[in-house]
A and B are shown apart, each in its own frame.
Chain A
Amino acid sequence: MRVIDVAEVTAKIRDMAIESNYNVDPEYLAQIESAKASESSPLGRNILNQITENAELASAERVPYCQDTGLSVVFADVGQDVHFTGGSLESAINEGVRQGYRDGYLRGSVVNDPLRRENTKDNTPAVIHYRVVPGDHFVLYFAAKGTGSENMSMARMLKPSDGREGILRTVVEHVFESGGNPCPPILLGIGLGGSIEKAAQIAKWSLFRPLGRPNPDLLVADLEQDILKAVNRTGVGPMGMGGDTTCVAVHIETYPCHIGALPICINVECHAHRHAELEF
């Protein structure tokens, strides 16, 4: 059995919150950099330039890339042979968020209750997904999820007869209707199958995949590519003001589902793609 002190968890979450907010995913920026050559809208190219310039500045001056420093979302893969000491794991994660948002001058963007809506001022609580895995591994994944893009996410129960075409149509229409709201160029995380909540959870999880790495299932990878091409033909473009660069990658995760169901969740991510992972 492996013993882990939760104080270590707090320290790591704190650092992940700060670093991810100052330094967004370099792969994403590389995609934007290369899109500059193919973007035919002059305004679109100007926007892509502002995005990469902003990234350089945020890293160099160690300031938040975006003023929406996000909702903290954590996936914790906990080996069944791990034992935590020093207090509650959940409290330790939230304490890490609290310290990171305070020490990093990040914005507290969380309200205590969806109806009462009082700002908790320290960005807690995080949304945490635990997954119990064999062995004594312990891996933490952290994301600072912007709400402009999260608000453009959706779940829908398609019919099995809608099939591949129905999925493609649903995603393309949705991206078109979202326009500039999610701050394109976007990343699309799509959960297919399972139940309504499973589809949402794997959609979120797909955003942690290294950018643009295809799903290992060729049938799914093929659909990812077709969606990417179709979405980039909508003309939505950078910030929704017209252009060729609407989406940099599509990540689909799947799960078995009921004979009568085809759940889909589209989790939209913006160019403020902030995530980190750490194996203990």
Chain B
Amino acid sequence: MNRVVSAGVVEIELPLRDEVIARLEMGEMCHLSGVIYTARDAAHKRMVEALELQEALPFDVQGEVVYYVGPTPPKPGAVIGSAGPTTSGRMDVYTPRILEAGLKGMIGKAGRSRPVVDAIVKYGCVYFAAVGGTAALLSRSIKKVEMIAYEDLGTEAIRKLWVERFPAVVAIDCHGNNIFEEGFKEYAAE
């Protein structure tokens, strides 16, 4: 199975395949290329409500990756505005339900709750962290944008993004190793 690692960075072609997820380890730097979808608080709320009502989701989440982001408005001629990750923890109440529905990956910033880590392990998923606040830099990896749902939510609408070599770190791998619980240990004094 091909796993491309160049200059210490794992190059990942999306959608995520189970064999790829299985080999990702906490702390690995990656570049993601392919399609991802944006969603933050309000979109998650609507998606989970749709699942409860057994309605169709705005996109098929099977095997896909969601990016927690609410971009700035694009300047004239730009593909997208600045687009860095938002705090993932606010999505925690909705995430297990969406992973159950088939979503495989998430990109955000900072830690996740215990139920989310458990769901990541149960459904064989992966959580990536991008560097919060580096929104101008990250938007350079976004090559094309299509608005697909909940346009009334403005910055919180669901967009389909085509990304090339989007930089992110494996923060929680499919075995439940969690950099937000492990990372500090090596560097803490005392």
Complex CA gap A272/B86 in Å reads 13
Complex CA gap A234/B155 in Å reads 35
For B83, B133, B189, the residue with the greatest tally of chain A CB atoms inside 10 Å of its CB is B133
The number of chain B residues with a CB under 8 A from chain A is 47
Choose among A54, A57, A65, A180 the residue that contacts B111 (Cβ–Cβ < 8 A): A180
A63 x B136 contact (CB < 8 A): yes
Complex CA gap A61/B82 in Å reads 11
B135 x A47 contact (CB < 8 A): no
Choose among A65, A235, A241 the residue that contacts B171 (Cβ–Cβ < 8 A): A241
Provide the residues of chain B in CB contact with A91, threshold 8 Å: none
Choose among B78, B81, B140, B186 the residue that contacts A67 (Cβ–Cβ < 8 A): B81
A54 x B72 contact (CB < 8 A): no
A54 x B134 contact (CB < 8 A): yes
- Residue on B nearest A244 in the bound complex, by CB: B187
B187 x A69 contact (CB < 8 A): no
What bracket does the count of chain A residues touching chain B fall in? 35 or more
Complex CA gap A109/B87 in Å reads 14
Say yes or no: A233-B134 contact (C-beta < 8 A), given A240-B111, A242-B183: no
Check if A202 is an interface residue, CB within 8 A of chain B. Answer: no
A272 x B133 contact (CB < 8 A): yes
A50 x B73 contact (CB < 8 A): no
A40 x B187 contact (CB < 8 A): yes
Majority secondary structure, A binding face:
loop
Complex CA gap A271/B75 in Å reads 23
Provide the residues of chain A in CB contact with B167, threshold 8 Å: 50
A234 x B184 contact (CB < 8 A): yes
Say yes or no: A242-B83 contact (C-beta < 8 A), given A63-B136, A183-B132: no
* Chain B 115-154 near chain A by CB (<8 Å), digits 1 or 0: 0000000000000010111111111100000000000001
Choose among B29, B83, B140, B155 the residue that contacts A43 (Cβ–Cβ < 8 A): B29
Provide the residues of chain A in CB contact with B86, threshold 8 Å: 67-68, 148
Check if B190 is an interface residue, CB within 8 A of chain A. Answer: yes
- Residue on A nearest B190 in the bound complex, by CB: A233
A240 x B29 contact (CB < 8 A): no
Choose among B136, B179, B186 the residue that contacts A57 (Cβ–Cβ < 8 A): B136
Check if B69 is an interface residue, CB within 8 A of chain A. Answer: yes
Check if B105 is an interface residue, CB within 8 A of chain A. Answer: no
Complex CA gap A272/B69 in Å reads 16
Complex CA gap A106/B140 in Å reads 17
Choose among B74, B133, B183 the residue that contacts A240 (Cβ–Cβ < 8 A): B183
Say yes or no: A180-B129 contact (C-beta < 8 A), given A233-B190, A244-B187: yes
Check if A51 is an interface residue, CB within 8 A of chain B. Answer: yes
- Residue on A nearest B85 in the bound complex, by CB: A67
Check if A36 is an interface residue, CB within 8 A of chain B. Answer: no
Choose among A64, A151, A180 the residue that contacts B180 (Cβ–Cβ < 8 A): A180
Provide the residues of chain A in CB contact with B74, threshold 8 Å: 105
- Residue on A nearest B71 in the bound complex, by CB: A67
For B71, B72, B89, B182, the residue with the greatest tally of chain A CB atoms inside 10 Å of its CB is B72
Choose among B73, B111, B138, B187 the residue that contacts A179 (Cβ–Cβ < 8 A): B111
Say yes or no: A67-B72 contact (C-beta < 8 A), given A54-B134, A239-B109, A239-B110: yes
Complex CA gap A102/B134 in Å reads 21
Measured CB to CB, the closest approach of chain B to A166, in angstroms, equals: 19
Complex CA gap A38/B166 in Å reads 27
A51 x B133 contact (CB < 8 A): yes
Complex CA gap A238/B187 in Å reads 11
Check if A53 is an interface residue, CB within 8 A of chain B. Answer: yes
- Residue on B nearest A51 in the bound complex, by CB: B134
Check if A270 is an interface residue, CB within 8 A of chain B. Answer: yes
Choose among B78, B155, B179 the residue that contacts A241 (Cβ–Cβ < 8 A): B179
Provide the residues of chain B in CB contact with A238, threshold 8 Å: 131
B51-68: which residues lie under 8 A (CB-CB) from chain A? Answer: none
Return 6 A-B CB contacts under 8 Å, by A number.
A66-B84, A180-B129, A180-B132, A233-B190, A241-B171, A242-B179
Given A46-B29, A242-B184, 7 additional A-B pairs, CB 8 A: A50-B167, A58-B135, A66-B135, A180-B180, A240-B183, A241-B179, A242-B179
